[in-house]
Structure formats: C-alpha cells, structure tokens
Amino acid sequence: MDLFDKINKNMGGPIGQHQKWSHGYFSFPRLEGEIHPHMMFNGKEHLVWSLNNYLGLANHPEVREADAQAAADYGMAYPMGARMMSGNTKHHEELENNLAEFVGKDAAFLLNYGYQGMVSIIDALVDRNDVVVYDAESHACIVDGVRLHMGKRFVYQHNDIESCEKQLERATKLTEQTGGGILLITEGVFGMSGAQGKLKEIIALKEKYNFRLLIDDAHGFGTMGPTGAGTHEEQDCIEGVDVYFGTFAKSMAGIGAFVASDNEIINYLRYNMRSQTFAKALPMPMVLGLKKRFELLKTNPALREQLWVIAKALQNGLVEHGFDIGITNTMVTPVFLKGELNEATSLTMDLRENYSIFCSIVVYPVIPKGLIELRLIPTAMHTLADVERTLDAFSEVAEKLKAGYYKENKMAIA
C-alpha cells in the first residue's frame, strides 16, 4: 500500500457523493467520504490555498462523528462555568496531560482562544519590573500582548541573532536596576514568510543572559518535527523552550489553544490568566472533538507526510517556474511578485474569477511597497493535480503582471 492509498484508507475511502451547505458567499462540501480543499464562491467551485487545515482533519469522518456525538451527549453549553469554578472535567484534564507529554513538557493548560490566550499569557508572566524582548515580525497576538505590558519592551530585527543579543544586553542592564526578569518571545514558524524561528541560536544565548523563552508555535504544532510535536522538536531543542504555545486552529482545524511548561509555571497560569479565570470553559463538543483530532494527529503520520509531499511539490515547482518564494523552510509558501496595490487586487481577482483559485494576498504595510505576496497554505488534502493547476495559473498571471495588464484594473471576468 503506497502513501496515497494509506491517505485514502485513513480518510474514509474514495471521493463520493456530497451535499453543500452555504453561508453568505461561501459554501463547503458536507462530508459523505469526500474531503478536498475546494469551496463554492459566488456559485462557482474554487481551489483554495488559504484554509487553516494542514492535516485535513476539518472534515475527517471520525472527527465529524466525534463532534456530533459529543453535541448529542452534552449539548453545546456544558460545562457551565469557568475551569476554576464548575467548568472542569476529566476530559479537559486528559487532553491537557496528553498535549503536555506530546510537546515534551510537564503540564499544559487549555485556552479558549489562541489570540486571546497569547495576549493573556504575556499579561500573566510579566509585570512592570520585567522586560519583554520580541521578534519584529511576531504575530499580532504577541504584539498586542506586548502593548499591554506595563514595563519596558525591546524589539529585535526579524530572526537576527546579533540584534536579539543587543536587545538582551539592554534588557539585562534595565532588569539589574528593577530587579525584574526578561521574557523573550518568538515564533516557531512565522506565518507570513514561512521561516522557522532561530530557536537553537536564541537558546544558546542563555549561556550569557538570564531570560525565559516563550514561543508561539501555531503553525509548527502538528506539522514540524519527526512526530509533529513542533518546531522545538524539529530543531532538537525541546528543553530550551521554557513556555510552549500551540493553537488548535491550524493542524487540528479546531478552536482553542494550549500553553505547556513546567508544573510551577502552568499552575501559576491556571490561576492568573484573566482570559481563562473569568471565562467559561471550552464546551464538551469542542474538547471531545479536539481529543479525536489529537488522536488522529498522533496516530496517522501519513497525513503529515502527505502535507509535506504537497508542500515540497508546490515549492519546488514554483522555483522551477522562476518564482521567488523567499526564505521559507516550512510548509507555508509565500510567492513574491513586483507590483502595486491596484495590480495586486486585480491579479488576485483574476486568479479567483478566471482561474477559480482562491489564495491570500499580502501588501504594504505588512510587506514593503512595490511588492505583492500571495500566500499559499498547502494541506494534506491537496493533490499533485492541484499543484500543477496552480503552477500553470500563476505562470499566466505573472506574465500578465509583467506586461502591465493589471495596471489599469483591466481584468475581464470570463
């Protein structure tokens, strides 16, 4: 049985009949054995490269069954209360224990939302005497968390270890006066560029500086490393990461997140993260559905293998066709083109309307003026035929861009 046969077997059989459900302009296939990265947009089927569904678990038959059964057994509301009060169950604790073991930490704490969770982690870990040092291209949830910090914060140039060390020097001098500590924050996988954070190099700086390292591994959890445990596993530096944050929104195609660390830190966070202390616990259908997703993530390595088959085929094909994919060394695939905002919008509309390809567009101020980034998120559910179709379409729109076709928004819709 080859890899694709294993994928078919794991995903519940070959493509079959399905129904559609729709909301607004979008609709997705309802599952009857079918799983694919397509959606209906304005009544037309599109190939999608912007779904947070790395391992294809969103519509997995076992996941849908677990979600439905949990909703039938418990309803959507239970448990009725915050974790500290009446919202704790053995299932919440079992999921936490399993996650902690998987990512190589003593304990874990479930979070209702990833974005809100990261903001609250930063708020709980530091006070006005502490200093935060963080990467310049950190996700918005980190930036917002740092903005709420009442003490000093120093930003270092993206993935620049020399710049990072300079900011650690500044932070050290300041904390010698305040008596505080230093929290260094970076990402395992940067979602825009696809670059891995330089975790091992940062950890090596602990020989000279006293700080704790918090990483946001939203894109790395479930996708990176020999077992999918994360970017810290990929770089063989699990012990050097003091606080590990992972989300369920990417590889597990769910809602919520978790933070993992040693017992002391997690016990502290349980009683000091305001976003969790004063919020209702994750409902049972989500928790039981997440347990099933996590089980599949751990026991079906073929899903992760297929993700990388598609990612490598896509990235190698783009390079062979002359495209600039930057410095990505993960499955996140940016495509950089030269053009202005009006050209960017016309080009993406051309892809969407005339090639039926839906992908994310990134422009200034996220990236420099004069550049267009098309960000592609491969999944285990994409096929090599999807890759070829996309390479052909990208080659055509790139030629149109060079020829000035999009300068005056001249984009005829077929």
CA separation for the pair 215, 103 (Å, rounded): 12
408 compared with 414, residue with greater pLDDT = 408
Give 279: exposed, middle or buried? Use CB within 10 Å, 0-12, 13-18, 19+: middle
pLDDT for position 388: 97
Q: Among all chains, which residue has been given the structure tokens 């005829």?
A: 412
Share of the chain above pLDDT 90, in %: 74
Q: How is residue 323 written in tokens?
A: 């495209």
Span 62-118, pLDDT tens digits: 999 999 999 999 988 888 788 778 878 899 999 999 999 999 999 999 999 999 999
Q: With contact defined as beta carbons under 8 Å apart, do 231 and 189 qualify?
A: yes
Q: In DSSP terms, which residues pair with 214 in a beta bridge?
A: 185, 243
Q: Which residue has the tokens 């997995």?
A: 60
User: Each residue of 341-391: pLDDT tens digit?
Assistant: 889 999 999 999 999 999 989 888 878 889 999 999 999 999 999 999 999
DSSP 125-150: H--TT-EEEEETT--HHHHHHHHT-S
pLDDT > 90? residue 296: yes
**Residue 228, both tokens:** 């999918």
Q: What pLDDT sits at residue 81?
A: 81
The two structure tokens encoding residue 232: 């810290």
The pLDDT score that the predictor gives to residue 29 is: 45
Does the pLDDT value for residue 33 go beyond 70? no
Percent of the chain with pLDDT strictly greater than 70? 89
Query: How many Cβ atoms from other residues are within 10 Å of residue 113's Cβ?
Result: 20
The pLDDT of 302-312, averaged and rounded, is 96
pLDDT at 18 over 60: no
Q: What is the pLDDT of residue 31?
A: 39
- How many angstroms separate the Cα of 71 from the Cα of each of 57, 77, 284? 18, 9, 8
Q: Which residue has the higher pLDDT, 280 or 288?
A: 288
| Structure letter (DSSP) for residue 27 | E
Give the model's pLDDT for residue 10: 42
Residue 411 has pLDDT above 90, yes or no: no
Q: Exposed (0-12), middle (13-18) or buried (19+): which is 395, by Cβ within 10 Å? A: middle
DSSP H or E run through 290: helix 284-299
CA dist 246 → 181, 208, 269, 305, 383 (Å): 24, 28, 15, 20, 27
**Total-model pTM:** 0.88
